[in-house]
Amino acid sequence: MTPLVETKGVSKHYGVFRALDDVTLSVADGEFVSIVGPNGAGKTTLVNLLTGLLVPTKGEVRFKGNNIAGVGPVVLAERGMARAFQLVQIFPQLTVAETIAAAVVTHQGKQWRLFARLSEDAEIGARVEEIARIFGLQHRLHTVSRLLSQGEKKLLDVASAFALKPEVILLDEPTSGVSTAEKHGVMKTLIAAAGAAGVKAIILVEHDMDLVASYSQRIIALSEGRVLADLPPGPFFADPVIIETVVGKRRGGH
């Protein structure tokens, strides 16, 4: 079976600096895979390659068997892989409904005035309400997004990506800035929403090892631009060398 997402011998060089060096990985239908590593390990570069923002110096990046190097996040979203936008930071004055609607309209390719009444398009309005309900935001539709709690803002960011009906969703630090008490609630909501929306695989980039341990089926660790480990949580967390390399000074905190 063809993996949903894969890289084959991917390297990314900036002059003499190698941000990534011969990285090969794959994500299959039904998997929840976390990508971890210390600062400078190459996680951001890998995410930008996986979402079509960068072209590798060497190697291939594929989604559903097709080369996606440099196609960009908009085209990639149309093909079925989405990354949370953090639209709340970009448009803090929009309501929850307007934020989700902006993504729905992008997916449907409609011409739509951002501040038009949602009731003028019943199809968009119904889809917005459906997504809001999946994420438990149905009672916040008319709330300006900047007034949401940090946890709700994170859910809204991901809800916007779900509006694109992705088969694969990439979550980059989805609970950053969220209180420890809220983090698991956010993650459980995201996973339940993914199931309800028919998402086939989740890729999580995360520093919080508690979250990584709790939800991952497989963990890919990067170190100095290379794959250090690709293991299920049990063997991963049982290896002190891996943990020391990945967590380092972050042990005991985020």
pLDDT (tens digit per residue) in 115-167: 455 555 778 889 899 999 999 999 999 999 999 998 999 999 899 888 888 99
Question: What pLDDT shows up at residue 249?
Answer: 47
**Domain boundary, last residue among 131, 165, 199:** 165
How many whole angstroms separate alpha carbon 248 and alpha carbon 223? Answer: 11
Burial of residue 136 (number of CB atoms within 10 Å: 0-12, 13-18, 19+): middle
State the sign of the Cα–Cα–Cα–Cα dihedral 75, 81, 85, 87.
positive
Q: Which domain holds residue 75?
A: 1-80+167-254
Question: What pLDDT shows up at residue 109?
Answer: 56
Q: Are residues 202 and 242 in the same domain?
A: yes
Q: Are residues 171 and 253 in the same domain?
A: yes
Q: Are residues 161 and 200 in the same domain?
A: no
Contact 23, 59 (CB under 8 A): yes
Q: Are residues 12 and 114 in the same domain?
A: no
- Per-position DSSP letters for 167-211, written without gaps between them: SEEEEESTTTTS-HHHHHHHHHHHHHHHHHHT--EEEEE-S-HHH
Residue bearing tokens 């007034």: 147
Report residue 37 CA to chain centroid gap. 16
**Taking Cα atoms as reference points, which of 148, 137, 75 lies closest to residue 101?**
137
Tell me the average pLDDT across 215-227.
Answer: 96
**Domain boundary, last residue among 143, 165, 187:** 165
Q: Are residues 96 and 217 in the same domain?
A: no
Which tens digit of pLDDT belongs to each residue from 68-117?
A: 999 988 889 889 999 886 667 778 899 999 889 888 876 665 444 554 55
- Residue 200 to residues 80, 122, 169, Cα–Cα distance (Å): 10, 28, 8
Q: Are residues 160 and 171 in the same domain?
A: no
Q: How confident is the model at residue 18 (pLDDT cuts 50, 70, 90)?
A: very high
Q: What residues are paired with 232 via a beta bridge?
A: none
Tell me the average pLDDT across 37-47.
Answer: 92
3-state secondary structure of 151: helix
How many whole angstroms separate alpha carbon 169 and alpha carbon 5? Answer: 11
Contact 76, 133 (CB under 8 A): no
CB under 8 Å to 153, separation ≥6 — which residues?
88, 145
Q: Are residues 72 and 175 in the same domain?
A: yes
CATH number, residue 216: 3.40.50.300
More confident residue, 169 or 124: 169
Q: Are residues 45 and 109 in the same domain?
A: no
Tell me the average pLDDT across 48-61.
Answer: 94
| pTM listed for this prediction | 0.88
- Per-position DSSP letters for 51-77, written without gaps between them: TTSS--SEEEEEETTEE-TT--HHHHH
Domains held by the chain: number? 2
247 half-sphere exposure, CB direction, 13 A CA radius: 18
